[in-house]
Amino acid sequence: MTEETITRICYTKEQVDNMIRAAVEEARAIDEASMAQHNREATIISMILGFTCLALFVDGLLRILGIIPPFMHLDVNIIDRVTERVETDVIDKIRQVPIQRLLRRG
Protein backbone atom coordinates (compact mmCIF):
# COMPACT_ATOMS: atom_id res chain seq x y z
CA MET A 1 0.00 0.00 0.00
CA THR A 2 1.11 3.44 -0.75
CA GLU A 3 0.91 6.38 1.58
CA GLU A 4 -1.81 7.93 -0.58
CA THR A 5 -3.96 4.80 -0.26
CA ILE A 6 -3.42 4.74 3.51
CA THR A 7 -4.49 8.37 3.88
CA ARG A 8 -7.65 7.66 1.85
CA ILE A 9 -8.80 4.72 4.02
CA CYS A 10 -7.46 5.75 7.43
CA TYR A 11 -8.56 8.53 9.76
CA THR A 12 -6.37 10.90 11.68
CA LYS A 13 -6.65 11.29 15.47
CA GLU A 14 -8.38 14.64 15.05
CA GLN A 15 -10.94 13.14 12.66
CA VAL A 16 -11.64 10.27 15.08
CA ASP A 17 -11.99 12.72 17.99
CA ASN A 18 -14.40 14.86 15.96
CA MET A 19 -16.49 11.81 15.01
CA ILE A 20 -16.63 10.67 18.66
CA ARG A 21 -17.58 14.19 19.80
CA ALA A 22 -20.34 14.37 17.16
CA ALA A 23 -21.65 10.91 18.12
CA VAL A 24 -21.73 11.82 21.81
CA GLU A 25 -23.57 15.10 21.08
CA GLU A 26 -26.07 13.24 18.90
CA ALA A 27 -26.60 10.62 21.62
CA ARG A 28 -27.19 13.36 24.22
CA ALA A 29 -29.69 15.10 21.93
CA ILE A 30 -31.54 11.83 21.34
CA ASP A 31 -31.53 11.11 25.09
CA GLU A 32 -32.90 14.57 25.94
CA ALA A 33 -35.63 14.26 23.31
CA SER A 34 -36.65 10.79 24.48
CA MET A 35 -36.73 11.90 28.14
CA ALA A 36 -38.87 14.91 27.24
CA GLN A 37 -41.29 12.66 25.37
CA HIS A 38 -41.36 10.19 28.29
CA ASN A 39 -42.05 12.96 30.81
CA ARG A 40 -44.86 14.35 28.65
CA GLU A 41 -46.49 10.93 28.24
CA ALA A 42 -46.07 10.06 31.94
CA THR A 43 -47.67 13.36 32.91
CA ILE A 44 -50.67 12.71 30.67
CA ILE A 45 -51.10 9.17 32.04
CA SER A 46 -50.84 10.44 35.63
CA MET A 47 -53.43 13.13 34.94
CA ILE A 48 -55.84 10.58 33.48
CA LEU A 49 -55.38 8.17 36.39
CA GLY A 50 -55.70 10.96 38.96
CA PHE A 51 -58.86 12.32 37.40
CA THR A 52 -60.37 8.83 37.21
CA CYS A 53 -59.58 8.09 40.86
CA LEU A 54 -60.99 11.44 41.96
CA ALA A 55 -64.16 10.93 39.90
CA LEU A 56 -64.71 7.44 41.34
CA PHE A 57 -64.10 8.72 44.88
CA VAL A 58 -66.61 11.55 44.45
CA ASP A 59 -69.13 9.16 42.89
CA GLY A 60 -68.83 6.78 45.85
CA LEU A 61 -69.08 9.62 48.36
CA LEU A 62 -72.20 11.02 46.73
CA ARG A 63 -73.78 7.55 46.63
CA ILE A 64 -73.01 7.00 50.33
CA LEU A 65 -74.56 10.35 51.19
CA GLY A 66 -77.63 9.48 49.11
CA ILE A 67 -77.28 12.34 46.65
CA ILE A 68 -76.90 9.98 43.67
CA PRO A 69 -79.34 7.05 43.38
CA PRO A 70 -78.09 3.45 43.76
CA PHE A 71 -76.36 1.76 40.85
CA MET A 72 -77.58 -1.72 39.86
CA HIS A 73 -79.67 -1.89 43.04
CA LEU A 74 -76.58 -1.70 45.27
CA ASP A 75 -77.71 0.71 47.96
CA VAL A 76 -74.78 2.05 49.98
CA ASN A 77 -76.63 5.02 51.44
CA ILE A 78 -75.68 5.20 55.14
CA ILE A 79 -77.48 8.37 56.16
CA ASP A 80 -80.71 6.53 57.09
CA ARG A 81 -78.81 3.99 59.17
CA VAL A 82 -76.80 6.68 60.94
CA THR A 83 -79.89 8.69 61.82
CA GLU A 84 -81.68 5.57 63.12
CA ARG A 85 -78.67 4.67 65.23
CA VAL A 86 -78.41 8.20 66.61
CA GLU A 87 -82.11 8.28 67.40
CA THR A 88 -82.06 4.94 69.20
CA ASP A 89 -78.66 4.71 70.88
CA VAL A 90 -77.42 8.22 71.47
CA ILE A 91 -80.71 9.84 72.40
CA ASP A 92 -81.49 7.00 74.84
CA LYS A 93 -78.11 7.53 76.48
CA ILE A 94 -78.75 11.28 76.75
CA ARG A 95 -82.13 10.67 78.36
CA GLN A 96 -80.51 8.47 81.00
CA VAL A 97 -78.26 11.28 82.26
CA PRO A 98 -80.07 13.61 84.68
CA ILE A 99 -79.98 17.25 83.58
CA GLN A 100 -79.29 18.53 87.11
CA ARG A 101 -76.12 16.48 87.21
CA LEU A 102 -74.94 18.06 83.93
CA LEU A 103 -75.76 21.57 85.18
CA ARG A 104 -73.78 21.11 88.42
CA ARG A 105 -70.63 20.14 86.47
CA GLY A 106 -70.85 23.13 84.16
Q: Are 43 and 36 in contact (CB under 8 A)?
A: no
Q: Mind listing the pLDDT tens digit for each residue in 54-84?
A: 999 999 888 888 888 887 877 777 888 888 8
pTM, full prediction: 0.56
For residues 59 and 52, the answer to whether their CB atoms sit within 8 Å is no
Q: Are 28 and 35 in contact (CB under 8 A)?
A: no
Q: How far apart are CA 59 and CA 51, in angstroms?
A: 12
- % of the chain with per-residue pLDDT over 90: 43
